[in-house]
Structure 1
Amino acid sequence: MNKKVLLTGISGYIGNHCAVELLKNGYSVRGSVRNLSKTEQVINSIKKEVNPKDNLEFCELNLLSDEGWDEAVKGCDFVMHVASPFINIEPKDENEYIRPAVDGTMRALKAAKSAGIKRVVLTSSMVSMLGNADKSIKVDSQSWTNVKGKNVSAYAKSKTLAEQAAWDFINTQSDASKMELVVVNPGPVFGPSLSGDLSGASMSMFTQMIQGKMPMLPQASINMSDVRDIAKIHVLALENANANGKRFIVTTEEPYAFQEVAKILKSNGYDKVSTKLAPNFLLKIMSYLDREAKSMRSFVGKTYNGNVSLTMKTFDWKPVPLEKTVLDTAKSIESYIN
């Protein structure tokens, strides 16, 4: 009998790919959605990569409600908590994102603990490591964002506080049979979309680039993540004995500038892509007027580099090359907008 995984947030960009990777590796999946009306859309997305047969079922969960969590984990061997509040621009009230991120994570952990589940894999982010850096830095599994620092976005706060709450829960278990936790920390996520939803921050930016709607690019460099790599590490983390209690950065080995991405697109026939750089002062001025620009302000003029050596060694893993990620993302977007 296949081992069963409760996968929260299955309808999302990362969740779709995690479901595919789980099914390809012989797991059964119970995917959570906010509304069961989404199930047909999820099935159609997953079928583009794998036939789920009888190994996929659904349940309805809300990050802000206790209802259904204990039932959702029944009969499961693992929990993969991917669900988190969607954010594209800075909200007026940061608690719109912080509360569901933290409370949803705690609901997943408490339900898993009560059901006797041995291990939870949690999706966090590199922003929980570098969200308030005031200079170019290299981060690793020991790095943490200071949520009280300057220019920390609501998204960075939500991911940092949710992850910290998870580790606090795990580290204060008093019983002998301690539940295990593994955390995956991706950077900006790219790669093909299975659902056709292009509204996420990374996909939205990419779509604007290839349509020629982004006349200038921010002067910033950061490690980028392929959604297929993220899903692969989530699945490998379920049963790798050496992964317990660790945080894993899942990105390219080196940071890349937005301009480098634009040049890859330009050299492969995407003629509308601009390679011009926006002056730092202009983006900073715009950030006081535009909430979307504000979310990028802390990255301007800096290089953020994540150390992926622990991830590569633990899982014998090599990131998808940047050019493949960039071109596969562009092809995926084209297939939905044309």
Structure 2
Amino acid sequence: MAKQIVLLTGISGFIGLHIAKQLLDQGFHVRGSIRNMKKAQSITNTLEKASVNISELSFIELDLTSDKGWDNAAKGCDYVMHVASPYAAAEPKHEDDMIKPAVDGSLRALRAAKKAGVKRVVLTSSTMTMMATMKSGTFGPNDWADIHSKDIGTYAKSKTLAEQAAWEFMEKQHSAMELVTIHPGAVFGPVLGDNITGQSMTMIDQMLRGKIPMLADVTMPMVDVRDVANIHVQAMTATKAAGQRIIASHAEATRLVDIPKILKEHGYKGPSTRIAPNLLIRFMSLFDNEAKGMVGLLGMNVRADNNKAQELFDWSPRPFSETVLDAAKSIIKTQEKS
């Protein structure tokens, strides 16, 4: 029987590499999209070091901002896993720098998938598309962030608009193709390979070095990258997942300061557990784009309704302390190599 082929966009990212590992381990052929073919060798090396058989791995060059190559990339594929999307905690100078590639990239993936006769598209969204403009209460699959709110950050807005565009596309098209959206909370956990430049890894790295004297008072649902990858792979083939928005996170929110607390409890000396006054974050946001990105999250304490993930799949999130400690171990391992 021929191998089923999955086009995986954003394969080189934190989540993308973990998804690639799980897909390859389960016998799928993975066609990974990268912006530059020079990245292919490092991805191959990373997966091989993680004991993955890469004989069913191939690469294709794609850009979220260009039509070039998308039809060819989806041709012959059974599934499309669209993970690639611009991300930064800091606010960009122009919101379209983040919004346009997010929206256009999602539509390019869907158009190419439809043309190729793909069975299902799994789109990586975010809990932000549901909770970004809430301050308290429980959010679930029927909720949407208010894109017109003054409190919404550009990343949350970009993910919300990209997902809304995807569902609108599905409403207008007449084919058997299905869509599932996956909504991770803040994603932490160990890296595959040596790249610790992602947002969550950089933050823990800085904590371990004692370079974050204070943290913003932010509380939100969080999740392990391995659990996020697992839910993507299950959502690709589970019959009842079609047409669903699925939350991938712990139900209870985690306070940002809980991360250094976990590290300190396990003998790490660098992390600080001091909390920055909200007024300080608001003042810093006037001239610091990273602080500006935090303002809308101040005072937020929301709970996630993750029942659908637990009903549809063999899935439950691992303890968050395990996530944090495994992330720290992988950072230290990377530092020792360099």
Q: Paired residue for 1:248? A: 246
Question: d(CA) in 1 for partners of 2:333 and 2:250?
Answer: 25
Residue segments in structure 1 that go unaligned for 5+ positions in a row: none
TM-score, with normalisation over the residues of structure 2? 0.96
Distance apart, 1:276 and its partner CA: 1.2
Please give the alpha-carbon distance, in whole angstroms, between the structure 1 residues aligned to 2:75 and 2:326: 38
Distance in 1, matches of 2:4 and 2:189, equals 28
Q: What residue is the counterpart of 2:210 in the other structure?
A: 212
Name the residue aligned to 1:224: 222
Distance of 2:52 and 2:276 partners within structure 1: 45
Counterparts in 2 of 1:107-256, with a 5 A limit?
107-133=108-134, 135-173=135-173, 175=174, 177-256=175-254
Corresponding residue of 1:90 = 91
* RMSD between superposed Cα atoms in Å: 1.2
Aligned length: 335
SS in 2 for 1:248: strand
**Whole-Å Cα distance in 1 between the matches of residues 123 and 57 of structure 2?**
20
Partner Cα distance (1:243, 1:48) in 2: 32
Partner of 1:299, secondary structure, is coil
Residue 42 of structure 1 is matched in structure 2 by 43
Partner Cα separation in structure 1 for residue 310 and residue 121 of structure 2: 20
Whether the 8 Å contact between 1:20 and 1:50 is mirrored in structure 2 is no
* C-alpha distance after superposition, 1:181-202 (max 9, x if no partner): 0000001110111132222222
Q: 1:138 is aligned with what amino acid?
A: T
Contact kept, 8 Å, 1:141 with 1:249, in 2: the verdict is yes
Aligned AA (2:237) = E
1:163-191 per-residue CA deviation (whole Å, 9 max, x = no partner) reads: 00000011122x3x331000000011101
Aligned equivalents of 2:148, 2:279: Cα separation in 1: 24
Percent identity over the alignment? 49
Work out whether residues 10 and 84 of structure 2, in 8 Å CA contact, stay in contact via their aligned partners in 1: yes
C-alpha deviation, 1:220, in angstroms? 2.0
Q: Deviations over 1:121-167 (max 9, x none)?
A: 0001111112222x223211011111111121111111000000000
Gaps of 5+ in 2: none
Please name the residue that 2:272 is paired with.
274
Contact 1:132 1:146 in 2 (8 A): yes
Q: Is the 8 A contact 1:8 1:81 kept in 2?
A: yes
CA distance in 2, matches of 1:87, 1:302: 19
How far does residue 277 in structure 1 lie from its aligned partner after superposition?
Answer: 1.2
Q: In the TM superposition, what is the alpha-carbon distance from 1:204 to its structure 2 partner?
A: 1.6
Partner residue of 1:15? 16
For residues 196 and 86 of structure 1, the distance between their equivalents in structure 2, rounded to whole angstroms, comes to 19
Say if 1:7 and 1:79, in contact at 8 Å, map to a contact too: yes
User: Counterpart amino acid of 1:140?
Assistant: G
